Structure 1
Amino acid sequence: MRRTFRPVPLTPGFLPASVLLLWLCLSLSAGAAPAATNARPFRVGPPAAWVKPLPIPPDPGPTPEGEEETSVSRLLIEEQVRVSGPSREHYLHSAQKVLSPQGIDRVTDIQFRFDPTYQKLTVHGIWRIRDGRREDVFQPAEARVIQQETELQNRLYNGTLAVVPFLRDVRVGDTVEVAYSFQGANPVFGGRFSDVVGVGRSYPVAHFAYRLLWPEGRGRTLFIRDFAAPGLSRSESMLNGEREIILERRHVPAVRHEDDVPGWQPVYPWIQFSEYKDWNDVARWASTLFQVPARSKALAQEVRRLSKEPTPEARFFAALRFVQDEVRYLGIEMGPNSHQPHPPDEVLQRRFGDCKDKSLLLVSLLKGLGIDAQPALVSTDLTQLLDGLRPTATAFNHVIVHATVDGRELWVDPTATLERGGLDSYAPPSYGRALLVAPGTTAITVIPTPTLTEPSIFVDETYVAMDRDGAATLDVVTTRTGDAANSMRRALAGTSLSEVSRLYLNYYAKTDAKISVAKPMTVDDDTVENVLVMQEHYRIEDFWSSGGSREFRAHALRQYLAVPNYSHRAFPLAVEHPVHARHRITLKAGELPPVKTEYEVVDGPAFRFVADTRARGQTLLLDYSYRSTADSVPPERIAEYVEAVRATEAQRGYAIQLRSRARRQGSAQSGEGGALLLGVVATGLVLWFVIAQGGPVGLWRKGRAWGRRRAFARKFDADHRGDSAGSAIPITSAQELLSKLDRLRCACGTTSEAPRDSLRHEAVVLGERHLTLVQWQCPACARARRAYFEDKGSRAA
């Protein structure tokens, strides 16, 4: 179950914040409360004597610019609470004026929701005020009582009842006033009091008030913490031996909605009340609920079965996967079972339970196997906000397990299913903070954030389009690891592979209508390493049909790089973290336009994006990666974040435009014509040169005479380079010797590589000079060759 700690607006259609928070913690509801037959499950009557109802303020008239309400004007929101012993009484009073026909639906949508296992509902009245006349329009006989399981979609049953009145004749201009009370408190808290009072709403309120009567001086201490409630007045006094605390605020402005606000960021200003003095107080309370029972027959039998595993790691994962995969998630929470787990024996017998039930069962099994483990209370929303809260039992809405296996600290969620991998690859859930359920716990524990060194999702697309007029193929390999593999494994467990294949095919069909499956999709699931690989194979007709143009996009990264709906913000922007994703696109084509190699990096306030573009021959490679670096962006950096996201838009894809056929034919014809003209000119120059040298015979005689002179001159040429020690060739390494050796011309006129197996080396020392004489045989004419080399590099070094 995912619930929120944030205060809820107090209207007749909603429970007050204080009542909602009674359900908030760990509440995994279920069951069916009995429906009323003859007797109504509520009473009608005046409020208790201690209640001091406030008058309805006059209509404030036009609201300030930007605060206009078009359908309903909230005139009064009032709460009064009296704590007495282990119980409490809670009075609620509101008044709303109808401004438009749409407002009639809002004002008349009234439900009084309560838990009949520990609460009693008293309806004081519903009044319609028209033209200054106040009339009670609540008809108890016409009200309907329904069992409204609001968490049924989460497989939670809490037995909550709702009284639904039906109002007659409500018109524009009427004011509807509602007053009712609850008596009783959930016994699971042992009489401890805690409450959260929302001071702001998503709409303006003319007058807000909260009154608390506290049993001062009776061994009970109340702690108060203010969370950004500007304009709130607070007064305290003693009244008949009770401490009276009054919070009041007039002309409360609306708190405007923004998208993707982190759960740990308070949106509405609020005040927290708590009777718990510290976190140890909360931990000791929770320890009384999560007690590991004595070994029962059913529990002992399960422990014996799990003990057959060979190692502590194997026994731990066998127990975890039994609870995760074989005990289904379903909660029955009525009364104390909103926070107190059912006994492990009962859960084993039923083979179902909520987070509390499954966590206690897992801890019981692990302790039976000799593995240290404790339940841990967490909040799926608040995370680091817990660091600043007053200690309270109502701060948590989920339970996980903390265990130590082979010296390694693990945080596991028993409600997760189909998780795989070993100790090395097991990442903790992203709840941020936890309260270990143990009598000695004194503080909130930080759950480490997983570190992703490699992409947890890697989409690798390969297009092959060698024929411009033919079909292309597309092969997609998607590799998921860690939590991404777990999520896909769960999806595949509930959806057939053929249906997944159909969905994926239609995704690509949005770009290529003539796409078809070439081979069936395959899944390779390595549960030991927790790596899941999916392969898709497609054929695409008319791949270059759009005039030879294509655009390739890194669609796997799009979900992480979205501009928020609200860029001018008062609150931080939540960013999914940690995330490391990669998308690679390879295009193998028969022809490609020139591709410029680029490597672009965009560093945003909460992410790093890299785009690598390069080409090898007729292959284009586009490689994109995204890595989150924070879980949120502060308001003052939103503009920078938006700019960074938009900077990636141009980098998250690549457009290809092949040359048109007309241009290619024109280029080919132009090339042929140019070559023909060049040939004609070259032929003319050769003919002119031959004629100038006296014709072919004269040119031959001149060439022969030049050869004779050159051969005769070589006989008297005294010191060719390398032929003697005096003209030794300088070198710095053996590699340079071989390189220069291959460039020496033989008397026969050839410069061919000397066979390495025929080389003979001889060291020659002339004073301080160190020479190497190399002798070999010319591979062309078989003549004996020799050359001197002088090592300059090693001596200088």
Structure 2
Amino acid sequence: MRRIFRSVLLAPGLPPASVLLLCLCLSLSAGAARAATAALPFRVGPPASWVKPLPIPPDSGPTPAGEEETSVSRLLMEEQVRVSGHSREHYLHSARKVLSPQGIDPVTDIQIRFDPTYQKLTVHGIWRIREGHREDLFQPAEARVIQQETELQNRLYNGTLSVVPFLRDVRVGDTVEVAYTIEGANPVFGGRFSDVVPVGQPFPVGHFAYRLLWPEGRSLYVRDFAAPGLSRSEAILGAEREIILERHHVPAVRSEDNVPGWQPVYPWVQLSEYKDWNDVARWASALFQVPTRSKAVEQEVRRLATEPTPEARFLAALRFVQDEVRYLGIEMGPNSHQPHPPEEVLQRRFGDCKDKSLLLVALLKGLGIDAQPALVNTDLTQLLDGWRPTANAFDHAIVHATVAGRELWVDPTSTLERGGLDSYAPPPYGRALIVAPGTTALSVIPAPTLTEPSVFVDETYVAANRDGPATFDVVTTRTGRSANSMRRMLAGTSLSEVSRYYLNYYAKKDAKISVAKPMTVDDDTAKNVLVVHEHYRIEDFWSSDARRNFSAHTFHEYLSEPSYSRRAFPLEVEHPVFARHRITLKSGEPLHDGADHDVVDGPAFHFEADTRADGKTLVLDYRYRSTADAVPPERIAEYVKAVRATVDQRGYYIRLGSRTSRRGAPPPPSGEAVALLLGVIATCLVLWFVIAQGGPAELWRKGRAWGRRRAFARKFDADHQGDSAWSAIPITGPQELLSTLNRLRCACGATSEAPQDSLRHEAVVLGERHLTLVQWQCPTCARARRAYFEDKGSRAA
């Protein structure tokens, strides 16, 4: 600026008035720029003196076989952390090179997130490196600061800000380097430090480094979780201990579908200052203190106390918090982990899991019922057994209570749960930390058991004659968790809409199906039994050659093959599941008598199929029960084989007036001695096989049953995953959505990556389910495609 003024003042021929006017304009412009920069919630400057930035490695290191990148090369991922007292400084530095036009968007899509309530952001620069020339592209005045609520779909508001720069002129071959520092730590932790360092990613990295400056003499516990090739060094720098973790030429960790949450996929290192779980429990106890009862809480306690028994009072309090206090979280600053006071939650009539748990505990204690909040992780479950104790291990809060000598685990965020305590199933979180000063270890939440089917689909077809219409009645009985889930869906979706969906589902098989009577629902809330009744009429029930196929479609979601059958990680199986599907055909013409019983035992399930034909009635009765929550990688082939073995069992076909049999091979040509000899041998083998199978009658019976099931095959199976909202593909975040999307096979056989600009996203809400409908065009055949996804990501506590 001084050089500009000097040039203006020395410019020949300018009158003094013009010089003064020009200087005034320049001063106002510079002042406005400074004011605009000062108004930003971040500052721009160099890193602190303690930071030792690493150089960007050349993009010429050895690449493991199969690790070639096509769009982006991650050259450097660096983190440096300094802990001093209660303060924390976190320096992040990265460099990515654009390898193709498809890599420009992910490289330039930069969002720097921070919480302004306790963090300060300093942007050091965003540089473009082209042909050896390094230029800072970051323009503070052009950057946008937005409050992008990343957990809005979960009804959580945390107030996090995102700095979004807009980079100009980035091309293929450029390297984009980003560096910034975030200073500050959430005061809710009271200065206690813990961190998780991912040392592996779903993509290769040239150089990864993590550097920690830690006060000498202050305890720190480190645990390594499967990090091959990780080097660790320590040194004393004055009053600080320097810990450096490094990996060079880091290979990608390739993801697989349906990996259990308790199975670590990416290698990582855990750092924690907490000594044991009692240390964490005492920290949490200070946050979840039940205050002296306020007038509003006291009034609610008096209302609940009118219930006649402790069990009734407990259920009334639980139902009130679940159903009348809606789920909505304001989690800014310390309230990311500290609940709001129960009186405030009562007045608002909303809260997150922490708020609702503390409110329920306050009400139960007022009713004389022993209760405590409990912290859980909705995904990791038993993996927490191997963790170092830390306050960051949990993402959800529930309640532990003792009612009439019975231990109970309840989730205050689960709405419309019904039934008594005898049938109450604990939530499937596996491990919990009871929030009490005396807690010394994690508690085991018992896994629920199913002694009876929780889903029973009973279909009855009545076909009086082969040329007339048939009636089709479906009675679906749900109990326990399945009834709760259906009740929530019906609370948010009209019965007519549900009926419309079901009708269209059956219309995929019978185009001439219509509703005979409106759908009805019987809900026994005392026993938590919900029954849905459907009534249809089907024209052209029998095909032109009097055939009919039947399908146990209920089990498709449980008995599907994984996308990856050669796996490094276990395959998650929904557990516990006990389902039954019965199909009854009442025909106007005689059916061939007989009975079959088939069993398939897989590594994680037990499947039974019963077939009974008597006079004019055919009954197909199927049962599926899960026996484990996962299949280990070494048993995947066995699991896939067992799933395929159930395909024939899950379908059946009937042909009126025919005794279906399998035909043998044609007789050999005469006149050839060799052919005749082979024929004799084959005949002997056939006779031996017939005798081994129990004789001709038994072989005919088995062959007829096999043929009927085989004819069904996969043709009439239910929807493939993603085809409809009811079979939405479960994901844990946007990154998994895109990776899954690129693996979906089009009808043309292609699985090529869809251009990002062709994707259309639409939010779909079904009751409490929040789905995403993605529509795009196949880049190979231009076919219009669509898929439903359901985000199963962890809820914040």
TM-score range, shorter chain: 0.7 to 0.9
Q: Percent identity?
A: 83
- CA deviations on 1:399-456 (whole Å, 9 max, x unpaired) are 0001111111111100010000001111101011100000000000000000100000
Q: Relative to structure 2, which stretch is displaced further, 61-70 or 191-200?
A: 61-70
Q: Give the structure 1 partner of residue 438 of structure 2.
A: 440
8 Å Cα contact 1:264/1:384 also seen in 2 = yes
Residues in 2 aligned to 1:636 and 1:323: alpha-carbon distance in whole angstroms: 45
Residues in 2 aligned to 1:645 and 1:570: alpha-carbon distance in whole angstroms: 20
Q: Give the structure 1 partner of residue 83 of structure 2.
A: 83
2:201 counterpart of 1:201: yes
Q: Give the structure 1 partner of residue 273 of structure 2.
A: 275
Residues in 1 aligned to 2:602 and 2:332: alpha-carbon distance in whole angstroms: 47
Residues in 2 aligned to 1:628 and 1:425: alpha-carbon distance in whole angstroms: 19
Residues 116 and 659 of structure 1, relative CA distance in 2, 3 Å threshold: same
Q: Which of 631, 651, 654 is residue 653 of structure 1 equivalent to?
A: 651
Residues in 2 aligned to 1:522 and 1:304: alpha-carbon distance in whole angstroms: 38
Q: Give the structure 2 partner of residue 170 of structure 1.
A: 170
2:230 counterpart of 1:232: yes
Question: Alpha-carbon deviation of 1:495?
Answer: 1.0
Q: Which of 547, 550, 555 is residue 549 of structure 1 equivalent to?
A: 547
State the SS of the aligned residue for 2:473: strand
Residues in 2 aligned to 1:381 and 1:574: alpha-carbon distance in whole angstroms: 12
Q: Give the structure 1 partner of residue 54 of structure 2.
A: 54
Structure 1 segment 696-735 matched on structure 2, within 5 A:
none
Structure 1 segment 293-692 matched on structure 2, within 5 A:
293-594=291-592, 596-659=594-657
Question: Alpha-carbon deviation of 1:594?
Answer: 2.8
Q: Give the structure 1 partner of residue 125 of structure 2.
A: 125
Q: Give the structure 1 partner of residue 673 of structure 2.
A: none
Residues in 1 aligned to 2:98 and 2:38: alpha-carbon distance in whole angstroms: 35
Q: Give the structure 1 partner of residue 188 of structure 2.
A: 188
State the SS of the aligned residue for 2:557: helix
8 Å Cα contact 1:226/1:272 also seen in 2 = yes
State the SS of the aligned residue for 2:248: strand
8 Å Cα contact 2:592/2:615 also seen in 1 = no
Question: Alpha-carbon deviation of 1:216?
Answer: 1.5
8 Å Cα contact 2:377/2:393 also seen in 1 = yes
Question: Alpha-carbon deviation of 1:595?
Answer: 5.2
8 Å Cα contact 1:62/1:68 also seen in 2 = no
Residues in 1 aligned to 2:455 and 2:185: alpha-carbon distance in whole angstroms: 48
Residues in 2 aligned to 1:636 and 1:651: alpha-carbon distance in whole angstroms: 25
Q: Give the structure 2 partner of residue 256 of structure 1.
A: 254
- CA deviations on 1:583-630 (whole Å, 9 max, x unpaired) are 000001122553542111111111101111111211111000110111
Q: Relative to structure 2, which stretch is displaced further, 59-68 or 473-482?
A: 59-68
Residues 595 and 57 of structure 1, relative CA distance in 2, 3 Å threshold: farther
Residues in 2 aligned to 1:60 and 1:437: alpha-carbon distance in whole angstroms: 52
8 Å Cα contact 2:463/2:471 also seen in 1 = yes
Residues in 1 aligned to 2:381 and 2:64: alpha-carbon distance in whole angstroms: 36
Residues in 2 aligned to 1:38 and 1:193: alpha-carbon distance in whole angstroms: 31
8 Å Cα contact 1:589/1:619 also seen in 2 = yes
- CA deviations on 1:106-142 (whole Å, 9 max, x unpaired) are 1100011000000000000011111111111111111
Residues in 2 aligned to 1:273 and 1:263: alpha-carbon distance in whole angstroms: 20
State the SS of the aligned residue for 2:500: helix
Report the TM-score when normalising by structure 1: 0.77
Residues in 1 aligned to 2:400 and 2:289: alpha-carbon distance in whole angstroms: 15
| 1:535 partner letter | H
Question: Alpha-carbon deviation of 1:241?
Answer: 1.5
Q: Give the structure 1 partner of residue 213 of structure 2.
A: 213
Residues in 2 aligned to 1:41 and 1:442: alpha-carbon distance in whole angstroms: 42
Q: Give the structure 2 partner of residue 791 of structure 1.
A: none
Residues in 1 aligned to 2:402 and 2:554: alpha-carbon distance in whole angstroms: 36
**Unaligned runs of at least 5 residues, structure 2:** 1-35, 660-797
> Larger C-alpha radius of gyration, 1 or 2?
1
State the SS of the aligned residue for 1:400: strand
Question: Alpha-carbon deviation of 1:64?
Answer: 2.8
State the SS of the aligned residue for 1:551: strand
Question: Alpha-carbon deviation of 1:656?
Answer: 1.2
Residues in 2 aligned to 1:647 and 1:401: alpha-carbon distance in whole angstroms: 43
8 Å Cα contact 2:593/2:614 also seen in 1 = no
Q: Give the structure 2 partner of residue 116 of structure 1.
A: 116
Residues in 2 aligned to 1:615 and 1:60: alpha-carbon distance in whole angstroms: 71
Q: Give the structure 1 partner of residue 789 of structure 2.
A: none
Residues in 1 aligned to 2:258 and 2:193: alpha-carbon distance in whole angstroms: 32
Residues in 2 aligned to 1:544 and 1:370: alpha-carbon distance in whole angstroms: 65
Q: Give the structure 1 partner of residue 753 of structure 2.
A: none
Report the TM-score when normalising by structure 2: 0.77
Residues in 2 aligned to 1:90 and 1:436: alpha-carbon distance in whole angstroms: 32
Residues in 2 aligned to 1:189 and 1:60: alpha-carbon distance in whole angstroms: 43
Q: Give the structure 2 partner of residue 265 of structure 1.
A: 263
8 Å Cα contact 1:380/1:398 also seen in 2 = yes
Residues in 2 aligned to 1:394 and 1:280: alpha-carbon distance in whole angstroms: 14
Residues 175 and 617 of structure 1, relative CA distance in 2, 3 Å threshold: same
Residues in 1 aligned to 2:544 and 2:640: alpha-carbon distance in whole angstroms: 32
8 Å Cα contact 2:611/2:619 also seen in 1 = yes
- CA deviations on 1:14-44 (whole Å, 9 max, x unpaired) are xxxxxxxxxxxxxxxxxxxxxx996110000
Q: Give the structure 1 partner of residue 42 of structure 2.
A: 42
| 2:166 partner letter | F
Question: Alpha-carbon deviation of 1:63?
Answer: 2.6
8 Å Cα contact 1:548/1:660 also seen in 2 = no
Q: Give the structure 2 partner of residue 71 of structure 1.
A: 71
| 2:278 partner letter | N
- CA deviations on 1:461-518 (whole Å, 9 max, x unpaired) are 0001121100100110000000000000011111111111111111111111111111
8 Å Cα contact 1:60/1:206 also seen in 2 = no
Question: Alpha-carbon deviation of 1:51?
Answer: 0.4
State the SS of the aligned residue for 2:498: helix
| 1:391 partner letter | P
| 1:178 partner letter | V
Residues in 2 aligned to 1:188 and 1:595: alpha-carbon distance in whole angstroms: 72
Question: Alpha-carbon deviation of 1:60?
Answer: 2.0
Residues in 1 aligned to 2:501 and 2:569: alpha-carbon distance in whole angstroms: 37
Q: Give the structure 2 partner of residue 737 of structure 1.
A: none
**Unaligned runs of at least 5 residues, structure 1:** 1-35, 662-797
Residues in 2 aligned to 1:493 and 1:75: alpha-carbon distance in whole angstroms: 51
Residues in 2 aligned to 1:129 and 1:439: alpha-carbon distance in whole angstroms: 55
| 2:408 partner letter | L
Residues in 1 aligned to 2:99 and 2:421: alpha-carbon distance in whole angstroms: 61
Q: Relative to structure 2, which stretch is displaced further, 340-349 or 593-602?
A: 593-602
8 Å Cα contact 2:188/2:334 also seen in 1 = yes
State the SS of the aligned residue for 1:538: strand
| 1:141 partner letter | A
Q: Give the structure 2 partner of residue 721 of structure 1.
A: none
8 Å Cα contact 2:104/2:172 also seen in 1 = yes
Q: Give the structure 2 partner of residue 667 of structure 1.
A: none
Residues in 2 aligned to 1:292 and 1:120: alpha-carbon distance in whole angstroms: 33
Residues 536 and 185 of structure 1, relative CA distance in 2, 3 Å threshold: same
Question: Alpha-carbon deviation of 1:65?
Answer: 2.4
Residues 527 and 547 of structure 1, relative CA distance in 2, 3 Å threshold: same
Question: Alpha-carbon deviation of 1:379?
Answer: 0.4
8 Å Cα contact 2:459/2:475 also seen in 1 = yes
